[in-house]
Structure 1
Amino acid sequence: MLHLQSESTTQWLGQVDAHLDEILIDHAHCERKAASTAMNLMDAYTDNRAITREMTVIINEELEHFHMVIEILDERKIVFRRQGSAPYGRKLNSLIRKTEPDRAVDRLLTASLIEARSCERFSLLSGHLKDRDAKLAGFYGSLFESEARHHTTYVRLAEEFASREVVRERLDQLSASEAEIIAAGCDLVRMHS
C-alpha cells in the first residue's frame, strides 16, 4: 500500500527515545512543509482541476496537523524553533526530472513517498510509545489514515501526467532511492532521518 522498499530501523526508535522533543519539533516543521509542497503543486498545475481540488484538501489537513503538533509542544513546554534540515527531502527532490510532464510525475511521487515514510514512522511511534505515553501514541495512531490517503492521492494524481504503468515503474525507481536515503541515515534526529 505505501510503496516503501524498506522499513525503519530500531536505531531510529532509539533516537526517538533519546530526543523525543527534537522529533516533535521536526514533526511540526514536516507538517508545515507538507502544506507548502501541496501549495506549490497547486500553483504549478493550476490548470489541472483534480490537482487544485486535492491540494486544497491536503493543505487544510496538513495545517490542521501542524497546529495539533504545536499544541502538543505547548502542553509539554517544548519551544518550537528552527532546526537544521536533514538531507532526506533535499536528496529526494534532487531526483526530480527537469522537463514536463516527467517533472510533474516526479514531484507528485516524491511527495507520495514522503507521506508514506511519515505514515510508516507514525505507526511505529504509536506502537513504540503505547505503554509510556498513551496520549502521544494515540495522536500518532490517529494520523496514519490521513497520511496514507495523502500518499495514495499523490500517486493517483501522477496518473494525470503519465499512464499507470509508467507511474508505477517510476514509483518503484524513486522508492528504491528513498530506501537508500533512509539507510544512509543522518546524525540529526528527525522524523525522516
Structure 2
Amino acid sequence: MQQLLAPIEAFLKCATPDSWIREAVKPENLATLLIDHCNCELKAAQTGMFFVRRYAVDRESGQQMLDWAKPYEQFVYCKDRDIEHFLNRDSKKNDFTTGLVAKADFGHGPELIAKMVRLIKEEFHHFEQVLEIMHERGIPYRNMRAGRYAKGMMKMVRTHEPAALIDKLIIGAFIEARSCERFAKLAPHLDEELNKFYVSLLRSEARHYQDYLNLAEVIAGEDIGDRIELIAEHEAHLISSIDEEFNFHSGAPTGV
C-alpha cells in the first residue's frame, strides 16, 4: 500500500488533517460520509463524460454517452427513488461497449476516450458499491449540497483553451489523489467491511490520478510543473483550512 501511496503523498502538498479523521469516524457522521462518497463517485463519472463529450467525440457519440449515464442520473434526480430496484433493474447498465467516434480536429481524442471510458465504468461501479453498502445498513440515499472543495478547485481554471482543459485535467488529478489519500487514512478507523472496501478502491483511484495527470502533460505539450504547483497550493489550503460543513472532501472541522 505504501508503494502505491508514495507518489500521491508527494503530489499532495498536505495530508488530511487528523481532526477531519476524528470527525469522519463519529457514528453520527457515517451516513453523511457514505452518502457524500456515493455522490462523489457519480460526479467523478459525470466529469469523465464531460471531458469525452466536450472535447473528444462527435455529436452521435456524445448522445451514446448520455444514454449510458441515464439510469444513474434518473435514480439520483428522481424523488421516489428505490435503491433495491435500481441495483437489480439491469445488471448490464454499466456494460458500455458501443464504439465512439473521435473528433478529427482533436489529436488526443483516442487516448482521452480510452482513459475516460475506463474511469467512468469504474466510477459507476463504485457508485453502485457504495449504494449497496448504504442499502444494507438502512441508509437512504439523498442529494447533498456541493461542498466548497470542488467549487473552490474550479476557481483555478483559466478561461481560454487549451489552458482550461489542461487545468481541469490537473484538478481531476488532485481530486482523485485526495480521494485515494483519504481512503487510505480513513480505512483503519472503520469497521471491517468498510475497511476492506476503501482499501479495495486505492488502486483504481491512484490510476485515475495518474491518467488525469498524464493527459494534462501530453495535451499541454510542454512543462506544466508551475501550473501543478499553483493548483497544489490552492488544494492544500482548501483541505487544511476550517470548513463549516462536513463532507468527504471538506477541510478541517470547526471547533476542533
TM-score when normalising by structure 1: 0.94
- 2:25 matches 1:17: yes
Equivalent in 162, 165, 168 of residue 223 of structure 2: 165
Structure 1 gaps, min length 5: none
Q: C-alpha offsets along residues 130-164 of structure 1, whole Å, 9 cap, x if unaligned?
A: xxx11110100000110000000000001232135
The structure whose Rg is larger is 2
Alpha-carbon shift at residue 50 of structure 1 (Å)? 0.7
Aligned letter for 1:20? L
Looking at structure 2, the residues matched to 16 and 183 of structure 1 have their Cα atoms a distance apart, in angstroms, of 15
Aligned to 1:4: 12
Equivalent in 124, 130, 139 of residue 197 of structure 2: 139
119-128 vs 180-189, greater mean Cα deviation: 180-189
Q: C-alpha offsets along residues 65-123 of structure 1, whole Å, 9 cap, x if unaligned?
A: 00000000001100110112210000001111111111111010001100000000000
Alpha-carbon shift at residue 171 of structure 1 (Å)? 1.2
Between the aligned residues of both structures, percent identity stands at 36
The answer to whether the 8 A contact 1:96-1:103 is kept is: yes
- 2:235 matches 1:178: yes
Equivalent in 162, 177, 187 of residue 116 of structure 1: 177
Secondary structure at the counterpart of residue 135 of structure 2:
helix
Aligned to 1:151: 209
Aligned to 1:85: 146
Alpha-carbon shift at residue 169 of structure 1 (Å)? 2.3
Looking at structure 2, the residues matched to 176 and 32 of structure 1 have their Cα atoms a distance apart, in angstroms, of 26
Looking at structure 2, the residues matched to 97 and 127 of structure 1 have their Cα atoms a distance apart, in angstroms, of 38
- 2:36 matches 1:26: yes
TM-score when normalising by structure 2: 0.72
Q: C-alpha offsets along residues 20-77 of structure 1, whole Å, 9 cap, x if unaligned?
A: 1100000000000000000001112213111111110000000000000000000110
Looking at structure 2, the residues matched to 52 and 146 of structure 1 have their Cα atoms a distance apart, in angstroms, of 17
Looking at structure 2, the residues matched to 12 and 59 of structure 1 have their Cα atoms a distance apart, in angstroms, of 28
Q: Which residues in structure 2 correspond to 1:48-87 (within 5 Å)?
A: 48-87=109-148
